[in-house]
Amino acid sequence: MSFLAIALVLLSATIHATWNLLAHSQKLSGTLLLRFHWLTGLVGLIPILLGELKGNPLPPAAWGLVVLTGLLQSFYFLGLMMGYRNGNFSIVYPVARALPILFLAFFDVARGQFPSPVGWLGIILVLIGCILIPLKSLRTIKLADYWNKSTIWILMIMFATVGYTAVDKLASEILTPGAEASARYAFLQAIFTVPFLWIVLKLIEEPMDKETGLASWKWSALFAFFVFISYWLMLWAFQLSPYISYLSALRQFSLVIGVLFAGLFLKEKVPPLRIGAAAVIVLGMFCISQAS
């Protein structure tokens, strides 16, 4: 795997974990979710139009894929918002982000891209780390660590992540290679997420007429920047490797950061076992970085 692809994924993971920490600390709301998506789309209108008019339009198939991604992203953000309201950050974030790796490995296999033995070892190590992360101790394993009021939202995040990641990988393969086309696709994703997200928030009767102060707008702008950059870097990385499972597993560096952030900044209790699980994830990431 190229150094550029690894660098893009690790940078994306760091930014992703950072904005998730901020989202949890700021009590992620429907208003904030909608606002930072349409702010991103508003900023992206000019790049989108310039790209389409200067003779480098997105392929027709990419438009259908980005609409589908918008739908799937709306469920991802709904699950994220509700998961953070009902669960421990250091459990909700790692489990929801890591479980899709196995499904995406099967997606690679189905497309004829078989991970190497070292690659499979890395994937398995990451999964083991993810299984251990919710536990406080191996001597106190109980169903409640995995099955609680956050579980339904974790499952929603997981399946939405598998869906939009697979769709984005397909889109990346038909886009013009490079950062510019990936950025335009990322801007479009934000635009198409807005109507779907509005619908699902209405269905759960989420209040969306609050947080009108200047401070809330500042947070919306900050989230818009972080979310866009993180998503754009992954789209770009998707163009540099045929293995979506490798890239998704490497992105679980954000899990390690998420656990550390939870302990350092949110003052959540992070048991030694959880730290050890994060180390296993890092070892798995190293294996994947060495896989062919």
Extract the tokens encoding 33: 């979710």
117 exposure class (CB count in 10 Å sphere: 0-12, 13-18, 19+): exposed
Higher pLDDT, 284 or 292: 284
d(CA 152, CA 208) in angstroms, rounded, equals 23
209 exposure class (CB count in 10 Å sphere: 0-12, 13-18, 19+): exposed
pLDDT band at 215 (very low <50, low <70, confident <90, very high): low
Q: Give the model confidence (pLDDT) of 165-180 as tens digits.
A: 999 999 999 999 999 9
Mean pLDDT, range 211-219, rounded to an integer: 70
Please state whether the predicted TM-score (pTM) of the whole model is above 0.95. no
Q: What is the pLDDT of residue 17?
A: 83
Question: Is residue 86 predicted with pLDDT exceeding 70?
Answer: yes
d(CA 252, CA 244) in angstroms, rounded, equals 13
pLDDT band at 266 (very low <50, low <70, confident <90, very high): low
176 exposure class (CB count in 10 Å sphere: 0-12, 13-18, 19+): middle
Question: Is residue 273 predicted with pLDDT exceeding 70?
Answer: yes
Q: What is the pLDDT of residue 150?
A: 78
Q: Give the model confidence (pLDDT) of 109-156 as tens digits.
A: 999 999 999 999 999 998 888 878 777 777 777 777 667 777 888 889
Question: Is residue 163 predicted with pLDDT exceeding 70?
Answer: yes
